[in-house]
Every structure is written in C-alpha cells, then in structure tokens.
Structure 1
Amino acid sequence: MDIKALRYFLAIVDYGSLTKAAEVVGVAQPALSQQLTALEAEFDVQLLHRSSKGIALTNAGRVLYRHACTILRQLSLASDDVKSIGAKISGKVSIGLPPTVAARLVMPLIKAVRERFPEVRLQIFEGLNEYMLERFFNQRLDFIFLFRSTGSQTIEALPLAQEALSLIGYPEQRLLRVDQPDTAPIIPIENLGSLPLVLPGNSQEGLRHQIEEVFAQRSIDVNVVVELDSLKHLLECAREGLACTILPTSVLVGENANLPHYQIQPEIRRSLSLCWLRSAQLIPAAHAVKEVVQEITGQLVNTGELMSI
C-alpha cells in the first residue's frame, strides 16, 4: 500500500473534489486521478462515487477512509516521537570563565540553558587564566572565555564583544580631568603611572598582561603595590582606599556598586571571545550552549553593558 496514495485519497475525500485536492496537495489533477485509480485497482473495489455534484464514499471507501486516518495519524505520531528523541540535546558541557566575565554571564547562562535544554548539565569553573588554561589544554573544559580577538593554531576563537577598562577607587583629584562642567571626570592614561595599583598577577592571557602592554607602548611605568588573584579582594582594596585598580565597570555590583570609577583616556579595550580547541569534537550540547552564549552576549551589547566587536 502506497502511503502517498492514502494521503491523496484522504485529501480528495476531505476537500470533496479532485480539483481542490490537487490544488492543496500540489499535484496535477490527472496525476491525482491516476493515484486514485491505482488504489482502487489494488483493492479491486470502487472507493468513490463520482458525479456532477462531486464525490461520495462507497461503503468500501468509508472503511478505507477510517483506516487511512488511523494509519496516517500513527505515522505522524511516530515521526514526532522519533524527531523529539533525535532533537533532545543532552550531555555535559564544561566552561571556564574569569571572574569579571562570570559576574555577568553565569546566572543568565544557567537560566537560559535550564529553560531551553533541561537535559544539558553545565559545569562552570571560575578562576584566573593560568588555572583555566591548564584545565582547558588538558581537555577538562569544553570552552574557555579569553580576552583575545583571534584564534591560534590550537585554539578556535569566537569573538563576542568588547569592554572598556576603568580606573576604580580613590585617585588624587589632581590626576583627574573634567573636560566640561557637569560631566564625569576622566583620567588621562599618562597619569596612571603616578598611582599605586592593585592588580591581578601576570599571565599571558590576563588583564595584567594587557595593561602592562598598553603602558609599555606609552612608556608608562606600572606602579603595582599589591598583586591579588581575587576579584573580591581587588575591589575591597579599592573600597578601603588602599590602592586603585583597573577593571571593567560591569563588576561594580552589590556592595561595590557605588565605588568611584573613571574613564581612562584613551580607552583601554579588550576583546572577549569564547574559545575551544580546534582538535576537539564538540557534541550537540556544546553547540547549543555556544549559541546561548552568543545570544546572551548579544543582549548585553544591545543594553550597552558590553560593546560591539
């Protein structure tokens, strides 16, 4: 029995006309008539009465119509069940984030993945770059967020956004500049060399490395008085007035929301990318999480919390 012929038979009955049925199913009327004739020949029985008033089911046609409805309904349900199993995305996806990124992305990411892919189990690790990179290259992380705009021979990088770094804390007022009344003060980058700074330890992919590169290009000395690999304590030092720090302003939440921060001119920007190993075979769950990350960072760009690449 040809399933296509059964579909055509139902269409003819449902629409009451060969012409209308042919239009709906998208075949020529002679082809539809041939399918009906073949079906009647297969069962060796007339299925429809044809007249100037339309068509009507014979007794045999009523029986076939009832069974055809059941058969096609079961096929549709089977197709839906198989597709739903095939489309069910599941598995473990591990991600490493630096603290400044985790502060903005972790909760939105968890909520979105739980809502859209409940079978996916996220493993999220927060830490500074050297620890994360070690886990990453040992293939204990599927993804890592790095502040870079391009990949390498071993790393695939998906650029997501940019962010500007600000001076956070209580610098001497003489180091600040107000260009116009009623505008927020800024700090010229040349004046940062006079400030005692508390910064993270150096690493090839880290914020400290980028700051030192920018300072070196302008022949500015970096006056680091304390190294801290803890976002909480970096901000606490700034809040206590022990030293200023340089971080994205998006980390100023909770008890640190009112900490003074100043735009650095010219801006120090860094690019944020989601990275994975070129040699890795990403499972469907990983691809799904990657898409969610892109959506969330896109929303942050739209609201002004991050800048477009």
Structure 2
Amino acid sequence: MDLRQLRYFVAVATTKNFTRAAELMHIAQPPLSRQIQLLEEELDVQLILRNSRPIRLTEAGRVFYEQSVQVLQRVDQMKNTARQTGRNHRQSISIGYVPSTLYGGLPMLVRTFRQRYPDTDVHLVDMGSIQQISELKSGRIDLGFGRVRTNDTSVARTVLREERLVLAIPPAWPLAAEKGPVRLEDLENPKLIVFPKEPRPSFADHVLGVLHEKGVKLDEVHEVRELHAALGLVAAEVGLCIVPAAARLRADLVYRLIANEEVTSPIILSHRLNDDSWYIVAIKQLIAEMYAQNPPWLDVQTNAFPSHPAIRAEEPSTKDGADPK
C-alpha cells in the first residue's frame, strides 16, 4: 500500500465515478482501476461496489475512506510543516501535558523557553499521562509532562517533584471547621468526587487506589471530566475531592492538607529513551533554574524534590522524592 493508491481510492470515493476520478488524478482509467484492485487484494476486502451507478462504498470501504482522508491530511500537514521549517530555519517541538500541570510550573517553563530560544516553536498538546507514552513513541510529541507512572522501557521518565495532595471541602461541612492536616484514615464513608472520568488509568485511579490502601470505604463516587467540574461539585456540596496542592483554585472552598506524607502525586517529565536532543537538556536546565528561584507556586511545604542535580531545588530542607491529570 502506498500514498498514491490512497489518493486514487479517495478520488474514486469522492467522485463516485472511475472516469471522473481518473481525470482528476491525471491518469488513464485502466491503471487507476488496477491500483484500486491491488489495494483491495492487499487488504483482502472489497472496498467498492462497482455494479451500482453511481458506485458505492462497502462498509469496509466507508471506514477505510474516512481513515485514508485523515492519513492524507496528516501527510499534507507534515509536508507543509517541513517546507515552513526549511524556509524559516525554525525548529518545532511538541509538548504533551496533563491540565493540572498548568497550575504549577509548566506555563513559566514554556514562557522562559520561548524567550531563551526564540527560533524554536513550542506546541502544547493536552493529553492524558498514558496517552503521552504512545504519542512519544509515534513521534507526535517530543516531551510529556504527566502524573501517572508507567513501566514502558522505550520511554525515559524523570520525576521532577512529588506534590502533596489536599482535601477540598465545602465550607459548611464539619471537616471544614478545622484548618490543620487531615488523615485519610479519619474520613468516615465520604462522598467523593474524582477526575478525570476518562481516559483511564488517571489521577482518579491513583486517588481511589490510595484510599483503598488506607482502608477508607466510600459512600459514593462521582466521576467528572476535569478539575474545574470537580471543584464546582464540591462547592455545590455534592462531596469531597482530593486535588494537588497547586490546584487550590476556588476561594469559596476549604482546603486541608492530607497528613499522610507518602500520599503524593508526581510531576513526571517523559521523552523517548536515548533521545539526546538539545531541547531535552535545555528543558531540564531551565527546570533547575526555575526551581532555584523558589517561585510562589513551588511551595516547599507541599512539594518534595528528587536528588538529581539537574532538577534539584535550592531549598535545602526539602526531602528527596518522586500522580493527576
């Protein structure tokens, strides 16, 4: 199968006529028909019903047509990007991220990277932690910032920090009366809101797993798609929600730190194994510089840092350490 065959097939499927498709592709009809036949033989499935006027696609043909259009559009996009890069001598990198990292250092990191390397375009792509792994391997993204640990040996992972978790509580509930840390074991059959609903596994599974390990029995579990919806339901007194410390977004809620210090969520930088591209080194260096500045979002009371010198925070009193969407 080659791109030429896909283009011939899309032309036939679009015009619903072999003659017009041949004219459109500037080819005689017999060789065009032969290429479609070879494509069907390779796929071992009939794509086109030739005895109808106008011709129609089989169910397999319809699905193959939709996917062929996507492939050809992607190829055209790749060509345009390559030409644009060649003309402008600009490099482009794509970074996958989970939304909760936007409340920490990712915006500052990207902003600083663009200032320091103005000839490199940075594209941010919203995707779950697990999806980042497959997209790294396919080449769609070059770096990923996620929160779920994986064991894929083709991807290198660096834990940038471990972020403490907090319990978001409706102000009128008894749990909100105290302001100190709360132990998970002290939660009595809570109604819990988790996010994201999909894709899974995700931060939702991390939270549910931690509660199961602590023996916390839940009265109800509400699954929502994203963080803002979860906090909105907390404000509506639907239930409690466990969120990263940096995601204390609503001022109308009470947040209590989870007292269990081992209950954290990592910020994980991922890239392809053995990828020695310059921007990976640059990103790690910028992270080290950024951590050394101790910006407001990098609360040393709610973060623990690994000992790797490339990403060590300057604060000497932090602990060595290591997961939401």
Normalised by the length of structure 2, the TM-score is 0.56
Match of 2:304 in 1: 307
CA contact (8 A) 1:145 1:273 kept: yes
Alignment size in residue pairs: 213
- 2:146 touches 2:268 (CA, 8 Å); kept in 1? yes
- What's the counterpart of residue 236 of structure 1? 232
Contact 1:165/1:247 (<8 A) preserved = yes
Matches within 5 A, 1:211-226: 211-226=207-222
Answering whether residue 183 of structure 2 is matched by residue 188 of structure 1, we say: yes
| Cα pair distance change 1:224/1:278, threshold 3 Å | farther
Shift in Å at residue 124 of structure 1? 0.9
Matched position secondary structure for 1:107: helix
Is the radius of gyration larger for structure 1 or structure 2? 1
Pairs within 5 Å for 1:49-128: 91-128=91-128
Indicate if the aligned counterparts of 1:94 and 1:140 stay in contact, CA closer than 8 A: yes
- Are 1:175 and 1:191, in contact at CA under 8 Å, matched by a contact in 2? no
Residue 246 of structure 1: aligned partner = 242
**2:176 & 2:234 partners in 1: Cα distance?**
17
Q: What do the CA deviations read for 1:212-252 (whole angstroms, capped 9, x no partner)? A: 22222222234453211212211221222222211013112
How far apart, CA to CA, are the structure 2 residues paired with 1:247 and 1:236? Answer: 13
In structure 2, what residue type is equivalent to 1:221?
K
Instruction: Give distance in 2, aligned partners of 1:204 and 1:273.
Output: 17
Q: Percent identity of the aligned residues?
A: 17
Given the superposition, is the C-alpha separation of residues 160 and 264 from structure 1 closer, same or farther in structure 2, using an over 3 Å criterion?
same
Query: Equivalent residue of 1:140, what SS?
Result: coil
Q: Unaligned stretches of 5+ in structure 2?
A: 1-88, 306-320
Shift of 1:90: 5.4
* C-alpha contact 1:147 1:271 (8 A) present in aligned 2: yes
1:287 to 273, 281, 287: 281
> How far off its partner does 1:289 sit?
2.6
Residues of 2 paired with 1:230 and 1:122: CA distance?
24
- Which amino acid counterpart does residue 143 of structure 1 have in structure 2? L
Q: State how far apart, in whole Å, the 2-side matches of 1:130 and 1:150 are.
A: 8
CA distance, structure 2, for counterparts of residue 172 and residue 154 of structure 1:
49
1:95 counterpart SS class = strand
The offset of 1:293, in angstroms, is 3.2
Per-residue CA deviation, residues 88-117 of structure 1 (Å, 9 max, x unaligned), is x95222111111112222321232012211
Query: How does the TM-score come out when normalised to structure 1?
Result: 0.59
Cα separation, partners in 2 of 1:221 and 1:270, compared to 1, 3 Å:
same
Aligned residue type for 2:242: I
After the TM superposition, which parts of structure 1 deviate over 6 Å for at least 4 consecutive aligned residues?
none
